[in-house]
Amino acid sequence: MRMGSSWRWQLSRAMRLALRWCRLCRPQRGGRCGGSKPWISGRCFEVWSYSKMLLKSLYFNSLTNADTLLDCAFEPVYWIVDNVTRWFGVVFVCLVVLLITSVVVIIYLFVLPTILSTYPLHWIVWHLCYGHWLLIMVVFHYYKATSTSPGHPPKDKTQIPSVSICKKCIAPKPPRTHHCSICNLCVLKMDHHCPWLNNCVGHFNHRYFFSFCLYMTLGCIYCSISSKTLFLEAYDAIERNYQTPPPTEVYEESTAHKSIIFLWVLTSSVAVALGGLSLWHMILISRGETSVERHINHKETRRLKEQGKVFKNPYHHGPINNWRLLLGVDKRSHWFTRVLLPSSHLPSGDGIMWEFTFTRRDPMAI
């Protein structure tokens, strides 16, 4: 949450103070003799004192600290990033769809025929089942993550459990709710705003987002391993093109080799990057935290440690129970029907009321 006034007001305030500083620097005309050393030293001390007061006045009051100065200084940058992300969200979604489509087309045109013609029957059946299962899970969860609302506090109800008032929406803010500057809305159990989804990740689509990251990582690893032999052959063939004289190669073979190299490089890169992101979110889920709460809880832990206290996350119900709550698993069969198969079931709870695992004396961050 950003503190302080708008950046325009801060800029005008800074300009007025700077103008006052310049007036102090200007020598006065009249009774004083120009070039008097005592007058110059006193004037310099006055300018120095006023400069320090000017700097402190930009960020200091009884409610804030030096972090507010950085927020005010970077407010134009925040504004640019928010607007660029908002307008380019559709472009990012189209790019994801285009890349997934290109990978699927290359698999069907070049990788799958090789599997069907050279692999044993049991391996062919395994590749067909596993590959298409991953494709279905990736497409389903990406569609649900982009089209499902993350959840917002009800605007027509004022009698809802809240821990504070949103300074942007001027409305009650329930626990674990944060304001998204890109969507310009408060989001229930907000994790972050994902430009690749053009949507916020919150209470009602957190499971879809994580499942997409996980199955996309598995799909990229599968494509990378399956096309490794073809990639090495294509790489050797392209290297032979630089020989003198180059070998005769038809256009279809050259296109196939370049497509295989594109497939392997893309899937391997995405597997590493998205695999790291998935691992990070697995850690957060096991701790019962979101990305926003991780930052808040870390600061609160350090603050309480200085006071000799220990911070406890009130939303941490144990790793297994945290996963059950996120995935909506109530019984054993749900691990198959709701996790390993496409499912549109709602998460546990409404995102407004939360079960706490702390006593009233335990410190907590909001």
Quick one: residue 318, left, alpha or beta (phi over 0 = left, psi -120 to 50 = alpha)? left
What is the arithmetic mean of pLDDT over 63-85?
Answer: 67
Decide if pLDDT at 16 tops 80.
no
The stretches of 148-227 forming alpha helices (DSSP H) are: 206-226
Give the pLDDT band of residue 108 (cuts 50, 70, 90): very high
How close are the terminal C-alpha atoms of the chain, in Å?
Answer: 11
| List of residues 6+ apart from 233 with CB closer than 8 A | 257, 260
Give the whole-angstrom CA distance, residue 307 versus residue 305.
5
Whether 194 sits among the annotated catalytic residues: the reply is yes
Q: Based on the number of CB atoms within 10 Å of its own CB, is 199 exposed (0-12), middle (13-18) or buried (19 or more)?
A: buried
* pLDDT (mean) for 15-29: 60
- The amino acid at 206: H
Radius of gyration of the chain (CA): 29
Task: List own/partner pairs for 351-354 with CB under 8 A and 24 or more apart.
Answer: 351/151, 351/174, 351/176, 351/177, 351/188, 351/189, 351/202, 351/203, 351/204, 352/153, 352/160, 352/161, 352/174, 352/188, 353/161, 353/174, 354/175, 354/176, 354/314, 354/315
Q: Give the residues across from 225 on adjacent strands.
A: none
The residues, ordered by sequence, that sit 6+ positions from 160 with a Cβ below 8 Å of its Cβ are 153, 154, 172, 174, 352
∠ CA 292-296-301, nearest 5°, is 145
Picking from 96, 301, 111, the residue whose alpha carbon sits closest to that of residue 213 is 96
CA 259 to CA 266: how far, in whole Å? Answer: 10
Tens of pLDDT, residues 296-347? 888 888 888 888 888 888 889 999 999 999 999 989 999 999 999 999 999 8
Closest CA to 45 of 68, 70, 24: 24
Q: How confident is the model at residue 33 (pLDDT cuts 50, 70, 90)?
A: very low
Find the range with the poorest average confidence among 54-68, 159-173, 249-263, 323-337: 54-68
Q: Is the peptide bond prior to 245 cis by the omega test (within 30 degrees of 0)?
A: yes
For residues 105 and 135, what is the distance between their CA atoms, to the nearest angstrom?
Answer: 12
* Residue 146: exposure state from Cβ atoms within 10 A (0-12, 13-18, ≥19): buried
Tell whether the model's pLDDT for residue 31 goes beyond 90. no
Q: What percent of the chain has pLDDT over 90?
A: 47
Q: What is the mean pLDDT of the chain?
A: 82
pLDDT tens column, 173-191: 888 999 988 888 899 999 9
Phi, psi for residue 27 in degrees, rounded to 5: -60, 145
Of 282 and 236, the structure prediction assigns the larger pLDDT to: 282
pTM for the model: 0.76
Average pLDDT over residues 228-256: 75
Q: Tokens for 366?
A: 């909001």
Q: Output the six-digit token pair for 200.
A: 């916020």
Q: How far apart are CA 148 and CA 150, in angstroms?
A: 6
pLDDT at 299: 87
Residue 2 binned pLDDT confidence (cut-offs 50, 70, 90)? very low
Give the active site residue among 72, 180, 186, 194: 194
Q: Which residues contact 224 (CB under 8 A, 6 or more apart)?
A: 264, 267, 268, 271
- Domain ranges in the chain? 77-150+207-352
Answer whether residue 121 shows pLDDT above 80: yes
